[in-house]
A and B are shown apart, each in its own frame.
Chain A
């Protein structure tokens, strides 16, 4: 019996939520419908007040004297309508809900402004009005104000979200977050065009922006000393983080649901905090090269686990969360003959030799790239718990 009631209650609750969702949908037709309904309700209410006794309460004799007694039926009706509909008491009664309505809008706007000082009071007010009645977008950007406005606008879209029209560079991407943490969506485009359009709906907010530059990681001047006491100076290792996505040519942009971990990781690429990711990749690369730099020197066999077909996304082992570092062993093994130390101010400086290794040996370089990308992908999965993000090595320069 109790279960029956509970089921019924749940059903009613779900139905109510659905109705409420439809009633407060934020799109242009719904907004216009709400505006019409609102005006109609106000007229009905005004008429109702005009027909009650209260309409005549505040009418003074002086006010009545303004309207002479009716001589015929028509003038009588008009006099009655004016007296009832435009009497001070009717007007005051009609004005009350209107004043309350506008004051509440002001109150909530003020509250939003206090909560997000970066968003102005007028902006908050306009935001509410736009959501409620879907007034058309009046401003169109011109080239002069785009860059001055962008930063502020982004803050707004991060806190309150849509509705807004976004025009974005296809080389960039962004993550939107649906209301109440319902999920993260990566919006990107692979098309060769100048600009892509995206409509950010109400209840969706911008979680992070990722520019193409943000996805590039340049590791400069990595000096590696191998176990043989030889040093190799990697002038530049260029990495690119990319999303494992595919796009249908017919669609303008690609929207892909991503995990919370992926969203969190990507959100670090667009800001000052990207240094954390860069430093992590630098340290991991350094670690890997320190253990496996012998690939560049000795033509060793690549273990089957990292043997891949070029051009395809590396096959990465299943995600292990909170993996112990002990499980991460160097991919290649070596028999060290010299001092293996990372410190620069070594007592054995005389033992350091400049490597005789040559970058012309393309095969070795390819092997190194392959293994390094595998290693970095593995570490991304292991530490950041990413699943759709891959890393590829663009170039290694001495």
Chain B
């Protein structure tokens, strides 16, 4: 990639210490204007009025002037008042009160934010969303843009609303039934066994099978922002009841993965090894059908009324595995990578 940028404003610089100095300079300047100048120039009531009038007008004018050049600052009157408030607080507060959220992550550790509830504004990128909660436990979804936090609100959950992918079950090159795993240390061996447990299930003839999946999902909402907001609130409610807060990425992955395993168990419990391994008279093999069924069920909308007997049958199955009913807008695609069958089966 070759991009050349001509711009005088592009000098990289590290300014952590400097920014503190600047804050001091700023306070010093305001002290001069508000304390020292009046001592010299205020000699009468009229001069005092003129002085404060000029001070207020110049502050409002300068703020209005520069705020207009920051692209993401809102241009409305209420926005102007909020920005002024946020900027004023930023001079005196030692801690940061505005955060930039990119791909569902705060630019600081979430728990740091949680312990510091006095947030003023959030700049959220297009691939993120935040759920805030106020003192009355009322939640609010905040999508991309420069958004102000109301008094008493805290950030509860953050979402990366882009595309996601994760593997569920054993990894591609893992030797699942190898007797010796010499290369693995204790933690690796533990992870290995955990991955096996994720998808392990038994089929009809009490034989253990371990499928491995590649799962993709995304939050895109063709129906619009309202639907997306509703879905995010539903997901947030689900995790709130389970007392999970912060970045939800891994939790969502886990939940979808577990859901895939449940579907898989349900589909396989009445299947024999013969059905899996033998040729069929159908157009596609058992595993192809299996993969299609998983995708059908996981993307099925619980609210859909249908007269199709096949779909009805799957809906019954859906009820038995407690679907992600309220998450129906998630667009999920599951690929079956491998299916491991117990070695000593003949």
The chain A residues found within 8 Å of chain B, CB to CB, are 17, 20, 23-24, 26, 52-54, 57-58, 88-89, 92-93, 96-97, 99-101, 103-108, 110-117, 120-123, 126-128, 130-132, 135, 137-141, 146, 149-150, 152-154, 156-157, 159-161, 163-169, 172, 174, 177, 179-181, 195, 202-203, 205, 207, 209, 211, 213-214, 227, 260-261, 264-265, 268, 270, 273, 275-277, 279-280, 283-284, 286-287, 290-291, 321-322, 324-326, 328, 330, 333-345, 347-348, 383-385
Return 18 A-B CB contacts under 8 Å, by A number. Answer: A93-B41, A103-B30, A103-B62, A114-B90, A131-B69, A135-B8, A157-B5, A166-B4, A202-B69, A264-B163, A265-B163, A284-B335, A287-B291, A325-B299, A328-B292, A345-B340, A347-B343, A384-B220
Asked if A112 and B276 make an inter-chain contact with CB atoms under 8 angstroms apart, the answer reads: no
> For residue B346, which residues in chain A have a CB less than 8 angstroms away from its CB?
347
The smallest C-beta distance from B34 to any residue of chain A, in angstroms, reads 10
Asked if A264 and B162 make an inter-chain contact with CB atoms under 8 angstroms apart, the answer reads: yes
Contacts A101-B58, A168-B4, A333-B283; A153 near B66 (Cβ below 8 A): no
Asked if A121 and B58 make an inter-chain contact with CB atoms under 8 angstroms apart, the answer reads: no
The smallest C-beta distance from B174 to any residue of chain A, in angstroms, reads 10
Asked if A209 and B62 make an inter-chain contact with CB atoms under 8 angstroms apart, the answer reads: no
Asked if A345 and B176 make an inter-chain contact with CB atoms under 8 angstroms apart, the answer reads: yes
Task: Write the chain A residue with the least CB distance to B277.
Answer: A339
Asked if A345 and B5 make an inter-chain contact with CB atoms under 8 angstroms apart, the answer reads: no
Asked if B40 and A92 make an inter-chain contact with CB atoms under 8 angstroms apart, the answer reads: yes
| B241 contacts chain A at the CB level, 8 A cutoff | no
Within the assembled complex, what's the spacing in Å between the Cα atoms of A382 and B320?
28
Contacts A138-B8, A156-B10; A150 near B295 (Cβ below 8 A): no
Within the assembled complex, what's the spacing in Å between the Cα atoms of A383 and B299?
12
Task: Write the chain A residue with the least CB distance to B344.
Answer: A347
Within the assembled complex, what's the spacing in Å between the Cα atoms of A339 and B123?
55
Q: Mark B58-93, 1 if CB is under 8 A from A, else 0.
A: 110111011111111001000000000011001100
Contacts A89-B41, A100-B55; A337 near B1 (Cβ below 8 A): no
> For residue A181, which residues in chain B have a CB less than 8 angstroms away from its CB?
126, 144-145
Within the assembled complex, what's the spacing in Å between the Cα atoms of A276 and B8?
36
| B177 contacts chain A at the CB level, 8 A cutoff | yes
Contacts A110-B19, A287-B335; A324 near B222 (Cβ below 8 A): no
Asked if B98 and A115 make an inter-chain contact with CB atoms under 8 angstroms apart, the answer reads: yes
Asked if A325 and B218 make an inter-chain contact with CB atoms under 8 angstroms apart, the answer reads: no
Task: Write the chain B residue with the least CB distance to A170.
Answer: B2
Within the assembled complex, what's the spacing in Å between the Cα atoms of A174 and B286?
44
| B280 contacts chain A at the CB level, 8 A cutoff | yes
Within the assembled complex, what's the spacing in Å between the Cα atoms of A132 and B63?
12
Count how many chain B residues have C-beta atoms less than 8 Å from C-beta atoms of the other chain.
Answer: 111
State which of B43, B67, B288, B343 has its C-beta within 8 Å of the C-beta of A340: B288
Most chain A beta carbons < 10 A, residue from B7, B107, B284: B7
Asked if A24 and B19 make an inter-chain contact with CB atoms under 8 angstroms apart, the answer reads: no
State which of B145, B216, B280 has its C-beta within 8 Å of the C-beta of A276: B216
Segment from B44-52, B134-142, B192-200 that makes contact with A: B44-52
Asked if B4 and A110 make an inter-chain contact with CB atoms under 8 angstroms apart, the answer reads: no
| B189 contacts chain A at the CB level, 8 A cutoff | no
Segment from B20-28, B150-158, B247-255 that makes contact with A: B20-28
Additional A-B contact list (9), CB under 8 Å, known A123-B13, A207-B126, A276-B164 = A103-B62, A104-B63, A104-B65, A114-B96, A132-B69, A149-B5, A280-B333, A335-B283, A384-B220
The chain B residues found within 8 Å of chain A, CB to CB, are 1-16, 18-19, 22-23, 25-26, 29-30, 32-33, 37, 40-41, 43-44, 46-47, 50-51, 54-55, 57-59, 61-63, 65-72, 75, 86-87, 90-91, 96, 98-100, 107, 123, 126-127, 144-145, 162-165, 175-177, 214, 216, 218, 220, 222, 276-280, 283-288, 291-296, 299-300, 329, 331, 333-341, 343, 345-346
Asked if B98 and A343 make an inter-chain contact with CB atoms under 8 angstroms apart, the answer reads: no
> For residue B123, which residues in chain A have a CB less than 8 angstroms away from its CB?
115
The smallest C-beta distance from A28 to any residue of chain B, in angstroms, reads 14
Task: Write the chain B residue with the least CB distance to A209.
Answer: B1
> For residue A52, which residues in chain B have a CB less than 8 angstroms away from its CB?
50
The 8 closest A-B pairs by CB, nearest first: A325-B295, A340-B285, A120-B13, A211-B1, A97-B58, A104-B62, A131-B69, A326-B296
> For residue A107, which residues in chain B have a CB less than 8 angstroms away from its CB?
26, 87, 90-91
Asked if A325 and B333 make an inter-chain contact with CB atoms under 8 angstroms apart, the answer reads: yes
> For residue B57, which residues in chain A have a CB less than 8 angstroms away from its CB?
97
> For residue B66, which residues in chain A have a CB less than 8 angstroms away from its CB?
104-105, 108, 128, 132
> For residue B336, which residues in chain A have a CB less than 8 angstroms away from its CB?
342
State which of B2, B71, B98 has its C-beta within 8 Å of the C-beta of A114: B98
Asked if B19 and A276 make an inter-chain contact with CB atoms under 8 angstroms apart, the answer reads: no
Within the assembled complex, what's the spacing in Å between the Cα atoms of A384 and B222?
11
State which of B62, B71, B145 has its C-beta within 8 Å of the C-beta of A161: B71
> For residue A325, which residues in chain B have a CB less than 8 angstroms away from its CB?
292, 294-296, 299, 333-334
Contacts A93-B54, A339-B277; A149 near B340 (Cβ below 8 A): no
Asked if B65 and A132 make an inter-chain contact with CB atoms under 8 angstroms apart, the answer reads: yes
> For residue B47, which residues in chain A have a CB less than 8 angstroms away from its CB?
53-54, 57
Contacts A345-B176, A345-B340; A336 near B280 (Cβ below 8 A): yes
Asked if A92 and B41 make an inter-chain contact with CB atoms under 8 angstroms apart, the answer reads: yes
